Every structure is written in structure tokens, then in C-alpha cells.
Chain A
């Protein structure tokens, strides 16, 4: 198991956003979180690399283990975020060149050699399947790319620090169907080397790419299991209502 979460509660001030979450996320598989808006799925994914630390008034109880180590214990948060990369809902490239976007994190972590940086940039872009499109435009501003390219650039940027885990928070919700298809294809390819946790609004997307699915409702993990199983024979009535479109 890559992540194992036990008895986790999360509060924003007085509001309890996650209630007694227990979940195991296996390595080198794609795990999808689905559920209606405000159900806590994004909140949970942000807890996995402690991005919730940035939210004021956020308090977490319970334990989250990454490879057997409690990430809310006495650890280096920056090192954790290096191991657990993240791709956001809206593509957020830095307003600098394509090259500098990818080189940003390696530089921040102390790599100065031009040769090494070139190597990392090429490898990251290749891994994100965007090298062929961008190899002649490395000096161009990242903001001049299309939305889909920007998102794949952000994936490449996340890969530049060689993480173990890739968290994706609705990575295709701002993209057109063709870009979405490209990203799904990429995610399936990346599963070989990375553990992927993806939050999605789109149930078809969860069916298409994920191995395991968790269904969240009002801060609770209603059902969690094998994707095919969950979508064909859901164990819980509320899961069935949601996936058949009765609400949400």
C-alpha cells in the first residue's frame, strides 16, 4: 500500500469536511475519487501532500501513512511534496518559458548544471508526451500554449522532481474533449511508474482509467473498491443512486 489513511477527520474551523476516513491506496494503480461538489474529495487529495496546511483554520486528526511513515508526524513537508507531486484543476504554468517551468523545481532543489537541467527538461517533457510538440518552443512563454498543452506541461513539471505519487485534482475539467483524451492516455501510461490519485467530476472518466474508486458524500467515504465492481454492482444504495444519476 502506498497510502494508508486511518480514522482521519478534517475540520475547516468548526465545519467538519471529512468524517472518519479509512482508505488504502495501492501503489502503481490509479485510484479515483468521485462524488458531488463539496463532498470532500478535493480536500482529501490535498491532505495527501499537505497542501491543506496553507488553508487557514484547517485541522486534521487521525493518521495518514505514506510507505509506512506518518506524513503528519515530524517530517520535512517540502521533501514530502517532492515525493508527492500535484496537478491542479486549472492549468497553472508559471509566467516564464517552457524550459524554465520544468527547470524551476530542479533548480529550487539545488541542481545548477546546465547539462543536467537539459536532461531533466527533456525527460520530463518526454514522459508527459509533449516533447515532440514543444521541443522547438522551449524558449517560448508557457502562457502562449493551449490549455491542454499547458496542463500536460504542468504534468511534466510535476514529474521533474521524480515523485512517487501524482495527485490530480480534476485535471481535465477545464479542457476540451480532445485534450482530455490525451491526458487520460498519458495518465494510463504513467501508472507504470507512478501511483496516481485522481479526483474527477466525470464518472465515465473514472470508469475509463481507474483501478479503484472511492465515492464520497458529505464528507464521508460511502464506498471504496474495485472500479468495475463499484460501477456494476455497488454495495451501497447511495452509490447506486449517484452513479445512476438520481442526484449530483
Chain B
């Protein structure tokens, strides 16, 4: 291990962390200092090892701290309101006296837009992945691949802007309502989860051993049936994983949804897909700016629920990945 590389790694991680977040680097910095002392005085191998552990643990420490802060503030609020009241209450009236903190409308809102995103995004995404892996000439692939990567890199506020100026008027004129609706948010989210689904599914389809395809073709199956009936089923776990990751992205998306969903904290039924809705994420971002006291704590508790959802989705993702 070159000394120059060690200096670069240390300097880089220190600068990044100090800029990002001052609490997290403390343990990392302490470890790093210890690492350097060991490195210079005692044993180079051991010092380098500690340094790498310090870098690797930065991510774990960050997750741990987020959990601690979120739960420390959110759980007491939830208990205060009453877990059942909080999760199943259909009225969100933080300014009433006494205030009502029921987040069921937001849980439903998150579920609706996510389900809608799956409806719009998953079939298109999987077919696009099949096309890219098995049908697309190399020349077109060269254009398509970077385009999809670019789609993944567009900031969500830009998606939101596109939704406001294109999708909202489109829905208003063709389907009715004022355009800020569950449907609009679903369409936009469907678009946003495409790169996740396409990239991971394409990878999974390409990872299927060529013998599977050859075996199907040797039985007289056409290119299409070999692809859809033999190769795609063989890539099932990877494709499912991509869908779950896409769902994770849809549940967590905030800015774009907030810009097109209308944001009314009102309990909606699925057939009211032309009305506005508010998701868990937008609930936090809309009100946290001016909330204080119990109201603020209730918003953080909303974050806890969101966190639980994401945890669930990630666990499912890892289960499916591990099954292979």
C-alpha cells in the first residue's frame, strides 16, 4: 500500500465528511487518527487495515445515526398520539384544537402512486430491457444505453417541472379534474423508475447462460419464444429484484410527486384517481418548515413509517437477490 494513496484516501474521506455532516466523522476521524498513529509508529499493515475499516464504517455509522435520531424523536410522538390513531386515523388536522394526526390518507396516497407507477413503469421497463438485451442492434444500443443512464441522472425537480408543464395539462384536458392527481403522479413516477428497472433487468437477462437460449432454439423455438419463454423466466429473480428496487424509488420519491400530486391530505379511494393526494414524503416536506412541538414530532413519526416501508422493501429485495 503506497503512502501517497493512503494520504489521498484519508484526505478525501475527511474533507467529504466534514463538509457533509459534522457528527458522523467524529468516530471516523478518531479511528483515522488511531490508524495513522499505528501506521507511523507500529505496523503499516495494521494501520492500513484500521484506516479501511474507518472508511467502510462511515456508511454504517451514517445509517445508524439516522435510525437513532429518527426513532428517538418519532417513536415517542407515535406513542403519544396512539399508534393505532396515528396509523389508521383518516384525519390530518395539525392546526385544530385538539389537533388530529391521522396519516392513513398519506399511507394510502403513497400506495396509490406507487401502484400506479408499477402499472405504467414495469411492463414498459421489462419490455425495454428484453429489447436491449436480445433484439436491439449494437448501433441502437450505443445510443439507448447512455440515454437511459441520463434518464437516471436527471434531478427529480426537473422531472417535477416536466410533470407540471406537460403531464398536468395533458391529464386535465384528456381525463378531467384539475390535472394535479394520483394519475399524473403515477405517470411521472412510472417514468422515473424506468431506468432502475431497465438497467437491472437487462443485466439479469444478459446474465442468463447462453446454453438456455441455445437449448430453446435447438428445439425449433423462434428467437422471440426462446427469449420470452426460456430466457426471461430464467432471469426471473433479477427482474423481480429490479421491480422491487423501482418500487423503493417510487415510495421514496418526494419532490417530483409533490409538484404534480395536488397534495390534499384527504382520504381518497382508488376510483378517485383524478383527485389529488398527498404521500408520506410530501407530507413531511410540505409541513416541516413551519411545524413545531407535537406537529413536528408527528411529521418525524411519518418519517419513521416511511423508513419502515423502505426497510421492508429492501429486505424483500435482498431476499430475492439471495435466492437466485
Contact = CB atoms under 8 A, between A and B. Distances in A.
A108 B220 contact: yes
B233 A105 contact: no
B215 A94 contact: yes
Interface stretch (A1-9, A34-42, A80-88, A115-123): A80-88
Assign chain A's interface to a size class: 20 to 34
Interface string B191-223: 000000000000000000101101111111110
B178 interface: no
A82 to B, nearest CB: 3
B234 interface: yes
A235 interface: no
A181 interface: no
Given A90-B211, A94-B212, A108 B217 contact: no
A28 B273 CA distance: 67
Interface string B221-252: 11001000110011000000000000000000
Nearest to B224: A108
A108 B214 contact: no
Contacts of A79: 220
A95 interface: yes
A115 B115 CA distance: 38
29 contacts: A51-B214, A51-B218, A54-B217, A78-B220, A78-B222, A79-B220, A80-B220, A81-B217, A81-B218, A81-B219, A81-B220, A82-B220, A86-B218, A88-B215, A92-B214, A94-B216, A94-B233, A104-B229, A105-B219, A107-B229, A108-B219, A108-B220, A108-B221, A108-B229, A109-B220, A154-B215, A160-B219, A161-B219, A161-B220
B217 A95 contact: no
Contacts of B230: 94, 104
A104 B218 CA distance: 12
B84 to A, nearest CB: 43
Nearest to A160: B219
B219 A157 contact: yes
Interface in A152-183: 154, 157-158, 160-161
Which 5 pairs of residues, A with B, have the shortest CB-CB distance? Answer: A82-B220, A92-B211, A105-B219, A86-B218, A81-B220
Majority SS at the chain B contact face? helix
Contacts of B233: 94-96
Nearest to B221: A108
Given A104-B229, A104-B230, A78 B215 contact: no
A107 B226 CA distance: 12
Contacts of B215: 88, 92-94, 154, 157
Interface in A50-83: 51, 54, 78-82
Interface of A: 49, 51, 54, 78-82, 85-86, 88, 90, 92-96, 104-105, 107-109, 154, 157-158, 160-161
Assign chain B's interface to a size class: 10 to 19
Nearest to B226: A108
B137 to A, nearest CB: 13
A57 B211 CA distance: 19
B212 A92 contact: yes
Given A94-B216, A105-B219, 10 more contacts: A80-B220, A81-B220, A82-B220, A88-B211, A94-B234, A95-B212, A104-B230, A107-B229, A108-B221, A109-B220
B209 A92 contact: yes
A96 B212 CA distance: 11
A158 B219 CA distance: 7
Nearest to A100: B233
B148 to A, nearest CB: 25
A154 B211 CA distance: 12
Contacts of B218: 49, 51, 81, 85-86, 88, 158
A105 B220 contact: yes
Contact of A104 (B209, B211, B214, B216): B216
A230 B209 CA distance: 38
Q: Which of B212, B216, B218, B219 has the most CB of A within 10 A?
A: B218
Contacts of A82: 219-220
Contacts of B222: 78, 108
Nearest to B225: A108
A88 B218 CA distance: 10
A191 to B, nearest CB: 20
A79 B220 CA distance: 6
